[in-house]
Amino acid sequence: MESTNQKNYALPIAMMIALFFMVAFVTGLANPMGVIVKEQFGASNFLSQLGNAANFIAYAFMGVPAGILLEKIGYKKTALLAVAVGFVGVGIQYLSGVSASFAVYLVGAFVAGFSMCMLNAVVNPMLNTLGGGGNKGNQLIQLGGSVNSIGATITPVLVGYLMGSNATIAKANPALFLAMGIFALVFVVLYLVNIPEPHMVKEEKVKEKSKHSALSFRHFIFGAIGIFVYVGVEVGIPNISNIYMTTSIGNGGLGIDPTVAGTIVGTYWFLMMLGRIAGASLGAKFSSKAMLTFASSLGLLFVIAAILSPTNIPVSMPVFQSDISFGLVEVPIGIMFLILCGLCTSIMWGGIFNLAVEGLGKYTAMASGIFMVMVCGGGILPLIQGFVADMLGFVASYWVVVAGLAYLLYYALIGSKNVNKDIPVE
């Protein structure tokens, strides 16, 4: 691709990177919103995770259709549709604050989830195409991933700051308006610019039906389950931590101010960003199997240490604050161990994906669509963890995370082996 063409695409590239930010920002809203609905509506720990569940379960419905949309109507129209749906989803969440309705909030979270799934399906290949593929395309995707982590870091910090001590959805309005404003800007810019469409289906091709599929491979099935578990672990650790910290001591929590808790949870996502940067630089030196084994083993140690640590032992922990600086906050040592898990979850997605599609050949595209569906684990596992927290307490709920990390370790060591090499993949 000529450099002049790349100049022409500078604006849509910036918009795609803005959408990377939005995917994390809007998805991350479910974390502090869990604290808000628990306080405003008196919801249980289980119900507090319903918004998060609605957001992620939308992936189960939209994962495959999003891929079909990409083929049939192309990047630009799919992105425009996704942005419009996202604007509506966040708008409904704003209306839930106006009407003080938990049900309306859940509808908004579900609609926003459709948008996030569609955006996830479009932003990676679109950014790669705009960059001209190859190293430049990959570099832009890595940049987008870093911006995604920044969005995830800022959301709990910003909403925690806005909430103060009396948490209501209406107090989160500035964050919702910011999201809607970015969506509106991106929609207008994308509508006005030309985007290359290399992957649109130009004509119907007669395809030979194969008796095999991605699901014919045992290591892929285990890997798809691994993605389901991983996203649930990645989301469950900070979500339940936020609820745990902000719940009063009399109700089994730690009684930490929501603003402070937001900075602590934001630090989890900041550590994920650092982990991704480190993972990108180390990826050429270590195999996906080695990296997933290390990350899941270290994560297991951190979570078990958090479960076994007494709550009366405080440590001074550096946190990412609302004024974009670092400061020390005194927290129970167990919380520090949970936040450190961000370093581990940061590199798991790539490791699982690479191991699961190894040797799939022509079935890789179908595998990617199935992976997008399995992202719904980010809604289901935290819901289960919230239920366990209601029944047995916050600390005991982290045994759900331990079980998830144990499965990922099993997958890295044993389940990822391709035992179906006899299936033709050309």
How confident is the model at residue 2, as a pLDDT? Answer: 42
> Over the chain, what is the mean pLDDT?
84
How confident is the model at residue 333, as a pLDDT? Answer: 95
In the numeric block, which tokens belong to residue 283? 């990826």
Render 178-212 in DSSP notation, one character per residue. Answer: HHHHHHHHHHHHHHHS----TTS--S----PPPS-
What is each CA distance from 88 to 58, 83, 92, 128, 176, in whole angstroms?
15, 9, 6, 27, 11
The answer for residues whose C-beta is within 8 angstroms of residue 343's C-beta and 6 or more apart is: 271, 272, 274, 275, 298
How confident is the model at residue 6, as a pLDDT? Answer: 46
How far apart, in whole angstroms, are the C-alpha atoms of residue 333 and residue 330? 9
The answer for residues whose C-beta is within 8 angstroms of residue 292's C-beta and 6 or more apart is: 347, 348, 351, 352, 355, 408, 411, 412, 416
Asked if 61 and 114 touch (Cβ cutoff 8 Å), the reply is yes
Which CATH superfamily includes the segment(s) 9-194? MFS general substrate transporter like domains (1.20.1250.20)
Counting every residue written for the chain, the total comes to 426
How confident is the model at residue 322, as a pLDDT? Answer: 63
Domain borders along the chain are 9-194, 213-417
In the numeric block, which tokens belong to residue 135? 């190293």
How far apart, in whole angstroms, are the C-alpha atoms of residue 21 and residue 35? 22
Asked if 235 and 56 touch (Cβ cutoff 8 Å), the reply is yes
How far apart, in whole angstroms, are the C-alpha atoms of residue 404 and residue 303? 11
How confident is the model at residue 166, as a pLDDT? Answer: 65
How confident is the model at residue 212, as a pLDDT? Answer: 78
Q: Tell me whether domains 9-194 and 213-417 share a fold.
A: yes
The answer for residues whose C-beta is within 8 angstroms of residue 287's C-beta and 6 or more apart is: none
The 10 Å CB-count burial string (b at 16+, else e) for 390-415 is: beeebbebbebbbebbebbbebbeeb
Which CATH superfamily includes the segment(s) 213-417? MFS general substrate transporter like domains (1.20.1250.20)
SS3 content of the chain, % helix, strand, coil (to 5): 75, 5, 20
How far apart, in whole angstroms, are the C-alpha atoms of residue 117 and residue 367? 16
Q: Which helix (H) or strand (E) holds 64?
A: helix 50-99
The answer for residues whose C-beta is within 8 angstroms of residue 50's C-beta and 6 or more apart is: 43, 106, 383
What is each CA distance from 41 to 62, 224, 361, 386, 392, in whole angstroms?
29, 35, 50, 16, 22
Give me the residues of the chain with pLDDT under 70, please.
1-8, 128, 132-139, 141-142, 164-167, 198-210, 283, 322-325, 365, 425
Q: How many CB atoms lie under 10 A from the CB of residue 9?
A: 21
